[in-house]
Amino acid sequence: MNSALGRFLLRWFVCGLGLWIAAALLGGNRLAVQDSLIVLSVSGLLLAILNTVIRPFVVLLSLPAILFSLGLFMIVINGLMVLLASYLYRPLQVSNFGAAMLAGVIIGLVNYLVTTILDSRSS
């Protein structure tokens, strides 16, 4: 998918899929996405928008911390994006920052797997 719309739709799908998998793995007491497909879709859309618009600025501002920690600070940034999405959209409930960081790691792994599969099929 070379178009900007296609890349955003893929990011939206991956964020929604990652949230669904994270909610299943972490359980309802840490990360709760209500059982509605609409809530999952809106949560994935909001997370995709936050990752597209706000995350690059946060990464740029925290570049010294990212370099000092050899990239591990990106886990904190991913957790902040999930926590911000849960703050802006109440049906997505995250119990604490640790659960948000774990959800961010899971979403990042799902993103890596999906893009690796799609890149291997396109070549």
Helix/strand/coil (H, E, C) string of the chain? Answer: CCCHHHHHHHHHHHHHHHHHHHHHHHCCCCEEECCCHHHHHHHHHHHHHHHHHCHHHHHHHCHHHHHHCCCCHHHHHHHHHHHHHHHHCCCEEECCHHHHHHHHHHHHHHHHHHHHHHHHHHC
Residue 30's pLDDT is what? 75
Report pLDDT for 60: 96
Position 1 scores a pLDDT of 55
pLDDT of residue 116: 87
Which pLDDT value is given to residue 123? 65
Mean pLDDT by 10 residues, the chain (123 residues): 82 90 82 78 92 94 95 93 92 89 92 85 72
